[in-house]
Amino acid sequence: MKVYVSVDMEGLAGVSHNKPTSRGDDGYPQAVELMVGETNAAIEGAFDGGATDVTVNDSHGGMFNLPPEKLDTRARLVQGNKPYTMAEAAREGAFDVALFVGYHARAGHPRGTLAHTYTGRITLVELGGRPAPEAAINALYLGALGVPVGLVSGDDALAEEVTDWLPWAERVVVKRAVSMKAADSLHPSVARGLIRESSRRVVEKLAGGEHHLQPLVLDGPISLRIDFAHAGFADMAAMIPGFDRQGDRGVHFQSDDATTVFRAFVSAADVSRAADD
């Protein structure tokens, strides 16, 4: 039973402001400790449920946040500037299930704490005409590999979105979203307990053949729309073959292949940064 864990930071219990999520801020080391705690909880739960292999993908910011020596020794850790970003390593092996820890609501959400989609340059992403959070975008790529998402943890705003996109996944609510930079959080130890138990339950059910998990699959052609904070970002993204400018600040892409859609999204998000130079 091979388990894939993608870990972000903004959705962790105890994180309510963007400054501690940035390297160099005085609060960053504490945020890293919170990230370690929830990551280890997911790892421990997975092994308790019968996992034989757990791979963790550090999925926040520059993606080199987790101190390797502080993680459960049974897990592997993928870090660094990765082409497939938050879903890297999934293409390297056949995983049975994915767990998303520390995730957050989509860009443009009216209430989600630290809500965004990959970058602050993006104000809205739609897949098939539906507003999509990072959990849905990453799950779409994993779905193309046949890997279902069994757990998503974060705030209650994200849980509502996941109910729509991944109704079969367990939703672990570790805080109540108050506003963009405020949250009503559980104690970290309580949040870790919930994640550990949910992770154990998901893997145990899979190992025992009792599950209703599904890979996320969208009927083709799959349309992707990205709205940016200003037109300059959209101009740069539209230079990628297959993208068309749409509206005042948007681009549009379409493909029958989910992996191609995922790669197109990541490329557009990356290329848009050139407008900052």
CA 203 to chain centre: 19
In a domain, 213, yes or no: no
Range of the domain at 269: 222-276
Identify whether residues 260 and 166 lie together within a single domain: no
CATH code of the domain covering residue 178: 3.40.50.10780
Q: What is the pLDDT of residues 200-234, one digit of tens each?
A: 999 999 988 877 899 999 998 999 999 999 999 99
The sign of the torsion formed by the CA atoms of 43, 202, 151, 88 equals positive
Band the pLDDT of 44: cuts 50, 70, 90: very high
How much of the chain is in helix, strand and coil states, percent to nearest 5? Answer: 35, 25, 40
Q: What is the pLDDT of residues 92-144, one digit of tens each?
A: 668 999 999 999 999 999 999 999 999 999 999 999 999 999 999 999 999 99
Identify whether residues 263 and 162 lie together within a single domain: no
DSSP annotation of 147: P
Spatial separation of the C-alpha atoms in residues 73 and 199, rounded to whole Å: 17
Torsion of CA 7, 10, 14, 19, to 10 degrees: 130
Query: Of 207, 230, 247, at which residue does a domain stop?
Result: 207
Of all residues in the chain, the percent with pLDDT exceeding 90 is 93
Q: What is the pLDDT of residues 144-165, one digit of tens each?
A: 999 999 999 999 999 999 999 9
Identify whether residues 258 and 199 lie together within a single domain: no
Identify whether residues 157 and 196 lie together within a single domain: yes
Identify whether residues 203 and 226 lie together within a single domain: no
Q: Give CA angle at 125 (123, 126), nearest 5°.
A: 140
In a domain, 217, yes or no: no
Q: What is the pLDDT of residue 120?
A: 94
In a domain, 104, yes or no: yes
